[in-house]
A and B are shown apart, each in its own frame.
Chain A
Amino acid sequence: MKKVLFKKLLKEQKNHVYSYACMMLRNQEDAEDVTQDAFIRLWQNWEAVNSKKRKAWLIRVTHNRCIDLIRNKRATIIQQRINSDMDLDKMTSHDQNRPDQRIEEKEIQENLLKAMDQLQETTKSMLLLHYYQGMTFENIGQILEMKPNTVKVAVHRGRKRLREILSNDDIINKEVLDHEQYLS
């Protein structure tokens, strides 16, 4: 029974867990390690984890491991952020039939991820869990051991902060473009 349930959960959640780790760490090798670790820990603690909260438990372990890795390898991660080694082409595209749109989409996503890197890890993870993973504030609260209202306020602030960062980038880009046009 345990085997069957675990197999089912692995099939359902492997991509979610891996994607979340990828977005948090921006490094595929680390994301692979974290995914492995999270599922192995779930197997080891199978009986201790409430059957209804296994998914949340899995995400919590993934989140904690990601935070640990980010804190331990902060210098490396910063370097990786500069290099932006996470290749979005390796990920599944939502619309693979239109390459021109795909390139534009990729650029927008990269800008968004770069802007998200400027947020605090917890805020970033909350935004990812809420909008990317589609979790409710209650679920995120369970995962991060916070009150749902705290999560809600943090998500609002994070979204606002993201808007400000991206707006600033737009202004800078526009100024650079204007300057280039003036020079030419």
Chain B
Amino acid sequence: MTRLSGWIREILGWLLVLAGLYGFFVALGLIVNRQVIGGSALGVLSVFMYRSGVGFLKMAVAARICQQAQDRVYPAPARPGAPRTARPGA
């Protein structure tokens, strides 16, 4: 569940970053076409989206690295119904 939420966060972060960059590009086009107020408002919104997307990405990557480190230190126990591997020499 933690891994799934991490991936969701990462995908959401990339989507937000791309949406922020696209919004900034659209705002640039608006400013070029003399719609300065609308372009500025869209630019500010895009910067917020970009920042939140970057925050999402950073948190998702950090959570994934923590989860990998935890899995290395505390590996998941084998399920009771799982077939046992034959010990060498047995």
Note whether A and B form a binding pair: no
B positions within 8 Å CB-CB of A: none
